[in-house]
């Protein structure tokens, strides 16, 4: 006879004490950590646990008994379901404070090295409508919310959805009425496409059955005023493609790049598929001011599959911090690890003798070389390959020992072999840019063998979320 599972705990009057990883709030109950989404430090809440482990619980708020002074009313009607802006209920000033604390906690708990005072986080002027790219997904059975009348009660005839995936659910799409992340006309385009498709009986995709015509839509805005829309179709139906694309061209003449992709694969990735031009240019033009006054601004051609920082205003602050931390004199050879499409390398190029960029994605290196040519910058070189294998003693012998090493790795941080090679090369300075303070702190602890921290500057790239970027300057011990 199967053992009956014990019901998961229900806790009353729990005080939320902190904001933690993945945007979840933190409390302590029965000597375990309790993670609670959409709560705020200072709240007193009732919590129903949905996951129980030896060292922690995870639960959802069922009732707020006392509201935190950090709380504000979220702007978005989708808050609490959509996973995009989990901190909308926190006043922005407190968001910045908790992000700064994330950096400090990571250094204290993981790096465990001496460090100077952390400089105040560089906040964003725009706390909404700051993203230059969003991707929406079509679904023929959208997620029904508490505000929808159930089907069996005669409600909800419109079950088509165009919006975002619910967190952790590949086939559940939350239909979005208004998104506060991307500036106009993003919302108008999304709503118009959905309405036109329904009026013309154009089918929405079903992820489980792998069937349906409308699959995804990407909207990219740019600092230059350019506007790109990329439609992703689940079938090669020339008539329906022409109808939808012509509708967009007529309805939104401000679109400067109108493209489409036909994706009949079992996943949503379009990086291995051709993007076809329907109208306009095949790229957006992004303009980034230079690092120093009186220098020419950089221009980047951003195609439908290109990577570019999604918050360009804050990206400039991030790159300017990295540039200023290095305190270039003009003679330096700089290695830029995980260079991507070369944006940081090109940003600092006019301040140094030469930049060598290294990246593990071949397509990104091709974009970096093209960006360098477009901006007429000739003191940069880009190489691609597995960072842990490419960056070896032969590479350093061939290209020269770096005076300054700049690194901006993915969230997982740097491979131990990369750190080992950095320690062998022993550049005078390391400027470490990170989107994950925890893995940055882990790597700093490994670099502590030869380096000590000189400066720390957090930068808020993504208001209304828990994410924080951090720049650390390390110098070689004498």
State pLDDT tens for residues 54-92. 999 999 999 999 999 999 999 999 998 887 899 999 999
Give the residue-averaged pLDDT of 117-121: 98
What was the pLDDT predicted at 221? 97
Longest dimension (CA), the chain: 79
Dist. CA 381–CA 379, nearest whole Å: 7
Q: 101-124 in b/e burial notation, b at 16+ Cβ within 10 A? A: bbbbbbbeebbebebeebeebbbb
Answer for the pair 70, 50: CB distance below 8 angstroms, yes or no.
Answer: no
What pLDDT score does 144 carry?
Answer: 66
The two tokens of residue 36 are 């609670």
- Tokens found for residue 231: 């439609």
Could you give the residue numbers annotated as active site?
Answer: 435
| Mean pLDDT along residues 443-452 | 98
Residue 478, pLDDT score: 83
pLDDT for 367-397, tens place per residue? 999 999 999 999 999 999 999 999 999 999 9
Q: Model confidence over 339-362: pLDDT tens digits?
A: 999 999 999 999 999 999 999 989
* Phi and psi angles of residue 344, each rounded to the nearest 5 degrees, phi first: -70, -40
Q: Return the half-sphere exposure (C-beta side, CA atoms, 13 A cut-off) of residue 152.
A: 0
Determine the Cα–Cα distance for residues 414 and 432; give it in Å rounded to an integer: 10
pLDDT band for position 295 (cuts 50, 70, 90): confident
Least Cα distance to 345 among 286, 414, 441, 433 occurs for: 433
Show the 3-state SS of the chain. Answer: CCCCCCCCCEEEEEECCEECHHHCEEEEECCEEEEECCCCCCCEEEEEEEEECCCEEEEEEEEEEECCCCECCCCCCCECCECCCCCCCECHHHHHHHHHHHHHHHHHHHHCCCCCCCCCCECCCCCCCCCCEEEEEEECCCCCCCCCCCHHHCCCCCCCEEEEECCCCCCCEEECCCCCCCCCCHHHHHHHHHHHHHHCCCCECECCCCECCEEEEEEEECCCCCEEEEEEECCCCHHHHHHHHHHHHHHCCCCCEEEEEECCCCCCCCCCCCCEEEEECCCEEEEECCCCCCCCCEEEEECCCCCCCCCHHHHHHHHHHHHHHHCCCCCCEEEEECCCCCHHHHHHHHHCCEEEEEECCHHHHHHHHHHHHHCCCCCEEEEECCHHHHCCHHHHHHHCCCCEEEECCCCCCCCHHHHHHHHHHCCCEEEEEECCHHHHHHHHHHHCCCEEEEEEEEECCCCCCCCCEEEEEEEECC
* Total count of residues recorded for the chain: 478
**CA dist., res. 402 & res. 387, Å (int):** 16
Show Cβ contacts of residue 324 under 8 Å, excluding neighbours closer than 6 positions.
none
Q: What is the pLDDT, as a whole number, of residue 171?
A: 73
- Separation of alpha carbons 153 and 130, rounded Å: 40
Are the beta carbons of 475 and 137 closer than 8 angstroms?
no
Specify the pTM: 0.92
Q: What is the C-alpha separation between 404 and 413, in angstroms, rounded?
A: 19
Q: At what angle do helices 238-251 and 186-199 cross, to 10 degrees?
A: 140
- In this prediction, residues 160-183 reach a mean pLDDT of 89
Statement: residue 320 has pLDDT above 60: yes
Q: How far is CA 225 from the centre of its chain?
A: 22
Taking the C-alpha atoms of residue 31 and residue 54, their distance in angstroms, rounded to an integer, is: 10
Instruction: State the pLDDT at residue 155.
Output: 52
Structural domains of the chain, ranges and CATH numbers in brackets: 10-71 (2.40.50.140), 97-126+311-476 (3.40.50.150), 133-282 (2.40.50.1070)
| CB 423 within 8 Å of CB 399 | no
Per-residue pLDDT tens over the stretch 246-265: 999 999 999 999 999 999 99
> 4 pLDDT band (50/70/90 cuts)?
low
The mean per-residue pLDDT over the stretch 302-315 comes to 94
d(CA 174, CA 448): 46
Structure tokens at 461: 């790239």
Is the pLDDT reported for residue 334 higher than 70?
yes
Nearest alpha carbon to residue 435 among 360, 340, 333 = 340
- At residue 172, the pLDDT reads 85
């Amino acid at each position: 006879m199967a053992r009956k599972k014990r019901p998961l705990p229900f806790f009353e009057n729990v005080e939320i004490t902190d904001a933690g990883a993945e945007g979840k709030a933190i409390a302590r109950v029965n000597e375990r950590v309790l993670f609670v989404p959409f709560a705020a430090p200072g709240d007193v809440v009732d919590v129903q646990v949905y996951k129980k482990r030896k060292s922690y619980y995870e639960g959802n708020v069922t009732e707020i008994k006392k509201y935190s002074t950090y709380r504000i009313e979220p702007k978005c009607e989708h808050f609490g379901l959509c996973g995009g802006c989990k901190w909308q209920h926190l006043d922005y000033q407190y968001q910045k404070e908790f992000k700064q604390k994330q950096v400090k906690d990571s250094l204290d708990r993981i790096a465990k090295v001496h460090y100077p005072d952390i400089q105040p986080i560089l906040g964003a002027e725009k706390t909404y409508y700051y993203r230059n790219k969003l991707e929406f997904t079509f679904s023929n059975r959208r997620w029904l919310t508490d505000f929808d009348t159930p089907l069996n009660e005669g409600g909800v005839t419109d079950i088509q959805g165009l919006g975002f995936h619910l967190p952790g659910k590949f086939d559940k799409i939350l239909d979005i009425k208004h998104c506060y992340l991307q500036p106009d006309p993003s919302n108008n385009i999304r709503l118009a496409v959905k309405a036109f498709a329904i009026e013309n009986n154009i089918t929405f995709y079903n992820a489980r059955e792998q069937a349906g015509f409308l699959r995804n839509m990407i909207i990219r805005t740019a600092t230059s005023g350019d506007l790109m829309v990329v439609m992703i179709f689940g079938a090669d139906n020339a008539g329906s493609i022409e109808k939808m694309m012509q509708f967009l061209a007529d309805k939104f003449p401000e679109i400067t790049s109108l493209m489409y992709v036909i994706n009949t694969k079992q996943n949503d990735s379009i990086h291995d598929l051709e993007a076809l031009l329907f109208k306009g240019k095949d790229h957006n033009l992004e303009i980034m001011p230079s690092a120093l006054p009186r220098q020419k601004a950089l221009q980047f051609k951003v195609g439908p599959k290109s990577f570019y920082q999604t918050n360009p205003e804050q990206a400039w602050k991030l790159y300017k911090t990295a540039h200023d931390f290095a305190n270039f004199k003009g003679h330096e050879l700089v290695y830029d690890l995980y260079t991507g499409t070369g944006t940081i390398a090109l940003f600092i190029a006019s301040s140094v003798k030469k930049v060598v960029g290294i990246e593990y994605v071949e397509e990104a290196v091709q974009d970096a070389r093209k960006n360098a040519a477009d901006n007429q910058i000739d003191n940069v070189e880009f190489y691609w390959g597995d960072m842990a294998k490419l960056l070896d003693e032969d590479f350093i012998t061939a290209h020269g020992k770096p005076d300054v090493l700049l690194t901006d790795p993915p969230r997982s941080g740097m491979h131990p072999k990369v750190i080992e090679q950095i320690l062998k090369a022993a550049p005078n300075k390391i400027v470490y840019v990170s989107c994950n303070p925890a893995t940055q702190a882990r790597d700093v602890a490994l670099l502590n063998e030869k380096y000590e921290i000189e400066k720390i500057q957090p930068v808020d790239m993504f208001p209304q979320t828990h994410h924080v970027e951090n720049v650390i300057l390390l110098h070689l011990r004498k």
